[in-house]
Structure 1
Amino acid sequence: MRTVLLAGIYHETHTFLQQKTGLDAFEQMALNQGDAVISNNLGNGSPTDGFISHAQAEGWSIIPTIQMAAMPSGTVEQAAIDLFRSKLFAGLEQHVDKLDGIYLVLHGAMVSVDIDDVEGEILAEVQAFLKRAKRNIPVAGVIDLHANVSAKMLENSDCLVSYRENPHTDARQAAVRGAELLGNLMDRPDVTQVHLATKYVFPPTGLGTSSNPMKAALAQARAIEAADSEILCINVMGGYAYADIADCGYSLNCCTRGDRAKAMGYLEQILKTTESWLKEAYPAERNLDAVLADIDADPPADGPILLIEAADNIGGGTPGDATGILAPLLATGRRGIIAIINDPAAAQLCHKSKPGQSVTLSIGGKIDRHHGEPMPFTGTIESLSDGAFELENRRSHLASMMGTHIEMGPCAVLRNEQAIVLVTSRKTPPMDLGQLHSQGINVEKARYVVVKAAVSHREAYDPIAVRSYNVDSPGLCTSDLRRLPFEKLSGKQISL
């Protein structure tokens, strides 16, 4: 019987946000210790579930230590890192002599107050521990496609496997693939990881895997894997643009049993393919007036028109309370609008009233000065709820972050003659239609839907939409990276 130690820490860190991410953010989303790592994840569609299910099917003995996850947000306070370290290394200290392998569920773009490369540092500490213990066992894991991969991460692990789809419908599958490779390495550990950093930092809007450059790069990676049996995996890493760290950006890496130079040659070929599609990697966005003019010039749409608010991409870390599209859209007098605004204070006020009552509120624009001003809204409270729902698509991008059961906190649905607005207490990325359907909102009947995302919404929303427009608006997940005050991206390219 194989014995594998399991741990996980997941956070995509937006370093330009003023608000720090404390231990409470992990407690709110996922903080499991010991046996709860298994009982609270098994069957929930997450990457952790993927590993556990595979390990159990293989008859492995799992030693669960700690699994932590928080919604993408600001720089992580050190207390969260310290807790993870303490539980991980306590488990290693107790069980190291009987371990056959270590499996980590990571994101790959985590930054703390003290450490720019959290995953790289943790992996280095794990290797140092194993060296002191005189144990040579494989360390493998799964990472997000948006990971900012460092050389340190690869030097201190045996095989990291990334998601291949964006939206991340394959997160659980990627974790299973990583577990399969760990099993391979426990039998035959003679592998090398090769890393090719690049100068490119792409905004999230340029990283959808149904579009180039990611589509072409991933197709080439799959073809190389199929043709060369020595290549265990090739990762095409989109990177995460909102982390002001030296390792930010697009990178390529692979795990091979063969020659390093040959593997590096493959990665260089993929980079050339990527570079042939650079224009698509930096998509342009237009302001709301220009988009609405186009909509008015086209024949009437029989179905929802998506207004994509990438600058307030909740899945990228921003607060979900931006008013930069909704407020001016309402000011035009248009009707048939559906939007979601994260505003715990407004939701709380609504819960002091009852469904059917009319309220006048100031909603959104409260977290910082970067996402618009609070917006007055008068409407009727259509419903109140605890905000809990189950994903309609168990392979949703959201499952990669939170599993299939989602908690938005106390919610209110407000309606007036122009719009239906779902007000949430916990920012929740719009990655599954169950978010709206669970609150009685028939989004399929909307005229305009404001979507706070970059790419992750596509699996859910594109099938119901007749048109989709990326709208330039205020916010710290802007696709125009030149607007952000980077300090550590020496030699990097952030635009065409």
Structure 2
Amino acid sequence: MLFAGLYHETHTFLSVPTTLAHFKAMAFNLGEDAIGRNLGNGSPSDGFLTTAREKGWRIIPTIQMAAMPGGPVTDEAIAAFDNVFFNVLEREVENIDGIFLVLHGAMVSESCDDVEGVLLKRIAKVLERRGRDVPVVGVLDLHANVSRDMVDFSTLLCAYRENPHTDARQTAVRATELFGRLMDGTRVRQVHRSTPYVLPPTGVGSMNDPMKSVLSAARRIEAEDPEILCINVMAGYAYSDIPDCGFSLNCSTAGSADQAARYLDELAGVLESHLAAGYPKENTLAEALAKADALPPGRGPILLIEPADNIGGGTPGDATDLLGPLVATGRKGVVAVINDPESVRQCAAAGIGAQVSLRIGGKTDEHHGQPVAFSGTVRNLTDGRFELELKNSHLASMIGTSADMGPSAVVENDQATILLTTMKTPPMDLGQVHSQGVRPEEAQYVVVKAAVSHKDAYDPIARASFYVDTAGLCTSNLNRLPYRKLAGKQLSL
């Protein structure tokens, strides 16, 4: 069994490219390291590797690469994957019974809008040239932008069903079980249904419509028809300016392709009947604070959600369009996390207990605000490593259960406690802040740079939460973005 991983969610409007160095900073594992560094880490790769070993399959590792969501991937990074993967495939093609790929599905490079589709097509050509007919199975993120080539040149695709992605490892286990059925002789056909709808990340949480209703209908169909192996409800990733961007549906069936197509038509109808919920309206900061002030007394912080700087969607994590105005109101008890290596270095030079005057955030580009003046005390300095408290959290789907923010600092004054990091890290697990001595449970307001992925970690501690419309390239108002390739797509109601 040949195994590889290539994982990146690409935000094509970001100016900073995702380089080979970004992959090496997160995951760049060759040969046996692709097994050893993933077994037991709670990731989708672990799900496949552990299940395959339990089945007694011999795994031939190639390369496993992953990087934090960001700008277009350099061709150098794609070439690094291709050179290793295809060399091993050519060498081992006579010895394999199948190929298992852990992918994202929304990867864009400097020269290619459909990295996964091109990869799968190239694999198919190698297998055809060498006279091999073996299953090729891919695990996808729920936010994949699925192309026709991804479907036509794979045997079966299997996507996450939860957002936040608490089922990422479980999905890989499920895909591995389906892989076993394929190797036992089950023949399947994949049927694909694209839609014209591009929904922002804030509109595709699995506990809310439209995703909730479409997912529920898909599970009902799977339960009622034993010939359906898998139905994927793909929310899409709105910040990839590519023709295949958007919501899509995919079905693998051992039966009638026509019947599968009718199922997908039914699911498209469910989506359209709940479409309004997929384009939620956000508050201004003033509206959010007024609503917070009107709440009855209670325990826990108010979450001020800032999806326009959704780190898990690729943005830099240093936006200040919410933090600056919030601090300017004079309110106290604020907790925030800002990615700012320069300020971390200033804090480290000053030392714990020192008074510092910083200009925090707003340093990546012109889209995410200006630096905010902040004077306070350095309360903590660490190497930024932490263990996830939720072992199946959305963050585990990306990096496993150990995380590294790089050198980090906590600064504090009478208004706010701010965790400064060197490497942007999405707020998907409370271990991030607890490991640094920060207690968001005791705050009045917590600034959360996310869309949906924070919910499993932060909702249980919150008194209430409000989405705030701010500047940033992960804005929920998709009409603000300069798309060029989405002909015929719908960005709003």
User: TM-score, with normalisation over the residues of structure 1?
Assistant: 0.99
CA contact (8 A) 2:203 2:277 kept: yes
Is 1:65 matched up with 2:71?
no
Residue 307 of structure 1: aligned partner = 304
CA contact (8 A) 1:286 1:470 kept: yes
Return the alpha-carbon distance in structure 2 between the equivalents of residues 350 and 35 of structure 1. 39
Residue 187 of structure 1: aligned partner = 184
User: Of the candidates 391, 398, 403, which is equivalent to residue 401 of structure 1?
Assistant: 398
SS of residue matched to 2:220: helix
Residue 177 of structure 1: aligned partner = 174
Is 1:465 matched up with 2:462?
yes
Return the alpha-carbon distance in structure 2 between the equivalents of residues 340 and 190 of structure 1. 49
Post-superposition shift, 1:188?
A: 1.3
Return the alpha-carbon distance in structure 2 between the equivalents of residues 137 and 97 of structure 1. 10
Residue 32 of structure 2: aligned partner = 35
CA contact (8 A) 1:392 1:433 kept: yes
SS of residue matched to 1:359: strand
Return the alpha-carbon distance in structure 2 between the equivalents of residues 448 and 436 of structure 1. 14
Residue 349 of structure 2: aligned partner = 352
Return the alpha-carbon distance in structure 2 between the equivalents of residues 295 and 431 of structure 1. 23
Q: Percent identity?
A: 59
Is 1:118 matched up with 2:115?
yes
CA contact (8 A) 2:381 2:407 kept: yes
SS of residue matched to 1:142: strand
Residue 275 of structure 1: aligned partner = 272
Structure 2 matches for 1:68-467, cutoff 5 A? 68-467=65-464
CA contact (8 A) 1:21 1:74 kept: yes
SS of residue matched to 2:446: strand
Return the alpha-carbon distance in structure 2 between the equivalents of residues 233 and 302 of structure 1. 42
The letter for the 2-side match of 1:341 is I
Return the alpha-carbon distance in structure 2 between the equivalents of residues 213 and 250 of structure 1. 11
Q: Which string of whole-angstrom CA distances, capped at 9 and with x for unpartnered residues, describes residues 404-435 of structure 1?
A: 00000000000000000000000000000000
CA contact (8 A) 1:309 1:453 kept: yes
Post-superposition shift, 1:189?
A: 4.3
Return the alpha-carbon distance in structure 1 between the equivalents of residues 295 and 213 of structure 2. 32
CA contact (8 A) 1:408 1:426 kept: yes
Runs of 4+ in structure 1 deviating by more than 4 angstroms, as ranges, are: none
Q: Which string of whole-angstrom CA distances, capped at 9 and with x for unpartnered residues, describes residues 202-222 of structure 1?
A: 000000000011011001000
User: Of the candidates 20, 24, 29, which is equivalent to residue 23 of structure 1?
Assistant: 20
Post-superposition shift, 1:476?
A: 0.2
Structure 1 unaligned residues grouped into runs of 5+: none
Post-superposition shift, 1:297?
A: 2.4
Is 1:481 matched up with 2:478?
yes
SS of residue matched to 2:359: strand
Return the alpha-carbon distance in structure 2 between the equivalents of residues 446 and 420 of structure 1. 9
Post-superposition shift, 1:300?
A: 3.3
Return the alpha-carbon distance in structure 1 between the equivalents of residues 217 and 245 of structure 2. 23
Return the alpha-carbon distance in structure 2 between the equivalents of residues 92 and 120 of structure 1. 17
Q: Which string of whole-angstrom CA distances, capped at 9 and with x for unpartnered residues, describes residues 84-133 of structure 1?
A: 11111111111100100000000000000010000000000000000000
Post-superposition shift, 1:301?
A: 3.7
Post-superposition shift, 1:169?
A: 0.3
The letter for the 1-side match of 2:88 is G
Q: Which string of whole-angstrom CA distances, capped at 9 and with x for unpartnered residues, describes residues 3-23 of structure 1?
A: x00001000000000111110
CA contact (8 A) 1:414 1:421 kept: yes
CA contact (8 A) 1:141 1:179 kept: no
The letter for the 2-side match of 1:73 is G
Return the alpha-carbon distance in structure 2 between the equivalents of residues 441 and 276 of structure 1. 43
Return the alpha-carbon distance in structure 1 between the equivalents of residues 254 and 109 of structure 2. 34
The letter for the 2-side match of 1:274 is L
SS of residue matched to 2:226: coil
Return the alpha-carbon distance in structure 1 between the equivalents of residues 414 and 45 of structure 2. 44
CA contact (8 A) 1:145 1:164 kept: yes
CA contact (8 A) 2:41 2:401 kept: yes
Post-superposition shift, 1:170?
A: 0.3
Return the alpha-carbon distance in structure 2 between the equivalents of residues 51 and 348 of structure 1. 40
RMSD, matched Cα: 0.6
CA contact (8 A) 1:138 1:189 kept: no
SS of residue matched to 2:59: strand
Residue 54 of structure 1: aligned partner = 51
CA contact (8 A) 2:186 2:254 kept: no
CA contact (8 A) 1:203 1:281 kept: yes
The letter for the 1-side match of 2:133 is N
SS of residue matched to 1:351: helix
Post-superposition shift, 1:396?
A: 0.6
Q: Which string of whole-angstrom CA distances, capped at 9 and with x for unpartnered residues, describes residues 333-368 of structure 1?
A: 000000000001111111112111000001100000
Return the alpha-carbon distance in structure 2 between the equivalents of residues 39 and 295 of structure 1. 48
Post-superposition shift, 1:253?
A: 0.3
Return the alpha-carbon distance in structure 1 between the equivalents of residues 55 and 378 of structure 2. 52
User: TM-score, with normalisation over the residues of structure 2?
Assistant: 0.99
Moved more, 348-357 or 466-475: 348-357
